[in-house]
Structure 1
Amino acid sequence: MQAMSTVLEGKAEALRMAWTIVLAEGHLLIEDVPGVGKTLLAKALGKVVGGTVKRVQFTPDLLPSDVVGVNMFNQEQHRFEFRPGPVFASIVIGDEINRASPKTQSALLECMAERQASIDGVTHELPNPFMVVATQNPVDMEGTYSLPEAQRDRFMAKISIGYPAQDAETDLLANHAGKDPLKSMQPVCSIDKLRRAIQTVHSVTATDALRDYIVRLLAATRDPSRFSLGASPRAGIHLLRASRARAVLEGRDFVLPDDVQALAQPVLAHRLIPSRDRQSGASSVHTTLQEILASVPVSAERRSPELAVAQLATPTGRGRRAPIRSAGE
Structure 2
Amino acid sequence: MEFSLSGNALKTLARSITCLARIGNELVVEASPSQLTFHSLNSSRSTYLSISFKPDFFDVYTISNPQVKCSLLLKAVCSVLRTPVTSIDHLSVLLPDQYASKIQWTLDCYNGIRKAYWITCNIEPDIQHLSLDRRKLPSSFVVRPRDLTRLLANFQSTLQEITIIATEPLSSPADVENEIGGKAVELRSYLDPTKAENDSSLHTQLWIDPTEEFMLYTHNRDPVDVTFAVKELKAFLSFCEGCEVDIHFYFDKAGEPILMAPKFGLDDGSTSNFDATLVLATMLASQLQDGNPVEAAADAMHGQPVHETSQAEDRSRGNVSEPPPSDHTRIWSDLSGKFDIFKCNLMSSIRTNVIL
Report if TM-score (shorter chain) is over 0.5: no
TM-score normalised by L of structure 2: 0.26
Higher helix fraction (1 or 2): 1
TM-score normalised by L of structure 1: 0.27
Higher strand fraction (1 or 2): 2
